[in-house]
Structure 1
Amino acid sequence: MGNSVGNNVSSTDNKSDPRGKLSAARRIAGQLIMIRMPGTVLDEDTAQFLRDNHIRAVCLFRQNMVNAEQLSKLTADLRAVMGPNALIGIDQEGGAVVRATWLPAPPAAMSLGATNDVALARAVGAAVARGIKSLGFNWNFAPVLDLNNNPANPVIGERSFGSDPQRATELALAWMAGSLEEGVACCVKHFPGHGDTHVDSHRDLPTVAKSRAALDALELAPFKAAMSAPAMMSAHIVYPALDPEHPATLSHKILTGLLRKEWNYRGVIITDGMDMHAIAGRYGVGNAAVQALAAGADMVMALGNRSTQEETLVSLTMALATAAGGSELGSAALAARLARLDGLAASYPCAAGAYPFLAEAADEHLMADAWRRGLTLVGNPQPLAAGTRIRLLACADAAGDGVAEAGLPAEAIAAVLARRYDVELVTFEGDDSFDWASLPDDDRVVILASTTRLRYGEKARKNWRPDLHLALWNPFQTLDIAAPALITYGFAAAALEAVADWLAGSLEACGKMPVTMKSETQ
């Protein structure tokens, strides 16, 4: 599928032929969006939609994945339809945010932050790339450059490498370097920074009301240091010091004024998902897509259903067909966008190949070691002797959080502990509705396993204390529960095995918390 704009919307023929002008605009519009698709096979209807609209970019999720054989065929079929300039993306960050769950499970960014080992971060980034490249992906929406300096942040948490801008940046860029060496493009996110928010942009529109000087010192610093990144994802957040009217995704002042002109960024700019409520619920997906391109984005992530994708295409087609020549939607600007996207695909071509057995085995070992090295203690928790009688408390619902597609079932951690201990599992639907005082006062050691991202409410915070807290997802939950804690920053199988080894006294927890742990009231 060619990406030429030689017969683009500004050609003389198109000016005298409205139908041809719209057709050319639709062809270009399709090349500037990334979609998601249903199912685990490329059905003919979806294939025809891709062909008809010249779509060259797809992002895949767990709903599209069964195993390596199925996924490799799906990406091969997508390449056959979308052509050599195809961009096939995935969110394989690590920790809770992974899509292909059978690959060696990478630790969360904050776990790597806890190890404070740049070489390890680079090795993990390379291993992630080897795995997803073998499945036919050429674009990974990672690493996260957000600095998590807000314990109340509901969506970033352990996805961040830490709160110190210099160290977090060094670790993130090392992770990216490893990926690039293995031939997978990275997309750093979420510019200009999603760390200091208490609202999830999947659900509403956050605001970061800091001065430009404060943003330069913290949020913006990692992104300014990442000008070599092949791609950057915009955040659906308002930064009044940068643009008091528009979220970054729709802001010409931020995407073009700051990123392109002030910082001279030359990589691809892609939006975060335009189906997120911060955008779709306020601006409408079609109108917002036009605004994002007018602001300076190169590609719009149209991750909604077919109807919202159609709405996006129609709105972009009309806008491109009527755009002034010198505008951000004019022919010169469109040619520059397509050149950047073509360059990304050319530099990082996607073609599935077998994951070498020895490399996969080595990567499994690498990831397990990284999880173990990230284990972090709060207070002075102690290992437990074999046969100890334990009462394990965990949330009954292992739901994801909209970004992570699933949490950890309570039974999973119970099964790990039951190999060594006498475990009684008690589950609760919600911590504020659970009667913490109903637990018997007996000889069992009480362990709380935090298996979801949600912070704890006042009822649990004020009225209850376990003997040990296993924080298996969100490290900031240790601020809620006044108990000695072991933090894993994630719940992959290797993380649970590390917990078991620490409890048995055969593993030391050497991680250092890479964020400032203070309650929101301090």
Structure 2
Amino acid sequence: MTDYNTTANSKLDHLKHKIGQMLFVGFHSAVVNEDSDIVKYIQKYNLGGVIYFDYYAYLKSYDRNIKNPDQLKHLTKKLQEFAPTPLFIGADVEGGNVNRLKAKYGFNLQVPTYLEMGSRDDLQQTYLEALKISIILKSIGINTNFAPVMDLDIDSPIITKFERAFSDDPEKVYKHCAEVIRAHSENDVISVSKHFPGHGSTKGDTHEGFVDATDTWQEKELVPFQTGIDEKTLDCVIVAHLFNKHLDPENPATLSHKIITELLREKMGFKGVVVSDDIDMYALKHNYSLEEIVVKFINAGGDIILMGNNHDNDLSQIENVINIIVEKIEEGVIPAQRINESYQRIMQMKEKYIFSPEINA
């Protein structure tokens, strides 16, 4: 006789196993063991990845994950040992003004800003600077870099101010970004290109609140992404929390089926992994409930939910997100097929860069 409760529990566990791969989370510790909260969540929910920070925004303190190269290498090694499925382990290491691996922690990683490299316009030099980054990342076990920035240098307080874009010329931006991606790929480091559909013209910062790009966004901001898709350079893209009524009159890009599925996937042809920008940013957090964010992002066609935990130190949100997804699948609000699609894309990217398992539906 079939034990239907056991069968149901088995199916639920398998579903949660897949959902866990869709979460990329931040945590507050520089050392872990089997009793660490993050380890327990990784093991219980088969989490897909973790992101390292050196700065804790809520307390305005440099006391997070990164102390020195040996410590970070050991932390990475221990996390992978505890993980049921090899983890994405990521950080923002663009170079220039956005670099978690700072000299004060003992990292020898002095890299020019993207704008400096774009002004120099020496593609070989850009490649070599990116190669320097990817070699260090690989040496400490970081397999995912939230770079390059594919935004245009138009006029943005979060992009232009910190010289994070190569140029206002979309073709030049793509050529330099392609060198960054090539250098990372050669060391088996995933490049997460950002911030679709373009953050370079915005007048606000989505870390701080709602940003409307309707009157400033230009269609040429799509060009670096489109070229990367056409040339099969892009494996992974971050979608920004930008609102643009010309692209979607109701939802910001992260929560938009029109932008993620209809524009990025169907019209532009992107077949890779879509990551949300950090859902802790106030552009979402102050305007949508956690349930709305999770449901809308997944139904929009997104694959990985980035949860930086920069405003608190409460990992219970991981469980909340997983429970929301399970509940909404059971209610028919989220199609189970959406989870399967995302899981397949995630595992294909892990197979390419991290491991070689059989991919089971």
Q: When the two structures are superposed, what TM-score results if normalisation uses the length of structure 2?
A: 0.86
| Shift of residue 16, structure 1, vs aligned partner | 8.1
Instruction: Report if aligned partners of 1:56, 1:82 keep a CA contact under 8 Å in 2.
Output: no
| Shift of residue 313, structure 1, vs aligned partner | 2.2
RMSD between aligned alpha carbons?
Answer: 2.1
Specify which of 278, 281, 288 is matched with residue 283 of structure 1: 288
2:27 is the alignment partner of 1:31: no
2:273 alignment partner in structure 1: 268
2:330 alignment partner in structure 1: 321
Specify which of 40, 47, 50 is matched with residue 42 of structure 2: 50
2:31 alignment partner in structure 1: 41
Specify which of 116, 119, 127 is matched with residue 114 of structure 1: 119
Read off the aligned partner of 1:114 and give its amino acid letter.
S
Quickly say closer, same or farther: Cα 1:83–1:309, change in 2 above 3 A: closer
Read off the aligned partner of 1:126 and give its amino acid letter.
L
Instruction: Report if aligned partners of 1:210, 1:240 keep a CA contact under 8 Å in 2.
Output: no
Structure with bigger gyration radius: 1
| Shift of residue 290, structure 1, vs aligned partner | 1.8
2:188 is the alignment partner of 1:183: yes
| Shift of residue 23, structure 1, vs aligned partner | 3.9
Deviations 1:35-73 (A, max 9, x none): 111110124232112111111211111120111111111
Specify which of 126, 129, 132 is matched with residue 137 of structure 2: 132
Read off the aligned partner of 1:205 and give its amino acid letter.
F
2:224 alignment partner in structure 1: 222
**What pairs up with 1:47-86 in 2 under 5 angstroms?**
47-62=39-54, 63-86=64-87
* Unmatched tracts of structure 2, length 5 or more: 55-63, 356-361
Read off the aligned partner of 2:295 and give its amino acid letter.
V
* Unmatched tracts of structure 1, length 5 or more: 1-11, 351-522
Supply the distance in 1 between the matched residues of 2:335 and 2:72 (Cα, whole angstroms): 38
Supply the distance in 2 between the matched residues of 1:65 and 1:285 (Cα, whole angstroms): 28
Structure 2 residue matching 1:342: 3-state secondary structure = helix
**Residues paired across the two proteins, number:** 329
Supply the distance in 2 between the matched residues of 1:106 and 1:286 (Cα, whole angstroms): 40
| Shift of residue 15, structure 1, vs aligned partner | 11
Quickly say closer, same or farther: Cα 1:245–1:130, change in 2 above 3 A: same
Specify which of 192, 202, 209 is matched with residue 197 of structure 1: 202
2:61 alignment partner in structure 1: none
1:340 alignment partner in structure 2: 345
Instruction: Report if aligned partners of 2:208, 2:282 keep a CA contact under 8 Å in 1.
Output: yes
Instruction: Report if aligned partners of 1:191, 1:235 keep a CA contact under 8 Å in 2.
Output: yes
Quickly say closer, same or farther: Cα 1:77–1:226, change in 2 above 3 A: same
Instruction: Report if aligned partners of 1:210, 1:241 keep a CA contact under 8 Å in 2.
Output: no
Instruction: Report if aligned partners of 1:14, 1:21 keep a CA contact under 8 Å in 2.
Output: no
Supply the distance in 1 between the matched residues of 2:80 and 2:249 (Cα, whole angstroms): 41
Structure 2 residue matching 1:201: 3-state secondary structure = coil
1:156 alignment partner in structure 2: 159
Deviations 1:466-497 (A, max 9, x none): xxxxxxxxxxxxxxxxxxxxxxxxxxxxxxxx
Supply the distance in 1 between the matched residues of 2:147 and 2:184 (Cα, whole angstroms): 10
Instruction: Report if aligned partners of 2:152, 2:173 keep a CA contact under 8 Å in 1.
Output: yes
Supply the distance in 2 between the matched residues of 1:98 and 1:171 (Cα, whole angstroms): 18
Q: When the two structures are superposed, what TM-score results if normalisation uses the length of structure 1?
A: 0.60
Supply the distance in 2 between the matched residues of 1:14 and 1:55 (Cα, whole angstroms): 25
2:315 is the alignment partner of 1:306: yes
| Shift of residue 180, structure 1, vs aligned partner | 1.2
Supply the distance in 1 between the matched residues of 2:15 and 2:331 (Cα, whole angstroms): 9
Structure 2 residue matching 1:35: 3-state secondary structure = strand
Supply the distance in 1 between the matched residues of 2:320 and 2:206 (Cα, whole angstroms): 21
Quickly say closer, same or farther: Cα 1:323–1:208, change in 2 above 3 A: same
Supply the distance in 1 between the matched residues of 2:215 and 2:268 (Cα, whole angstroms): 20
Instruction: Report if aligned partners of 1:25, 1:320 keep a CA contact under 8 Å in 2.
Output: no
2:177 alignment partner in structure 1: 172
Instruction: Report if aligned partners of 2:239, 2:274 keep a CA contact under 8 Å in 1.
Output: yes
Supply the distance in 2 between the matched residues of 1:320 and 1:27 (Cα, whole angstroms): 14
2:148 alignment partner in structure 1: 143
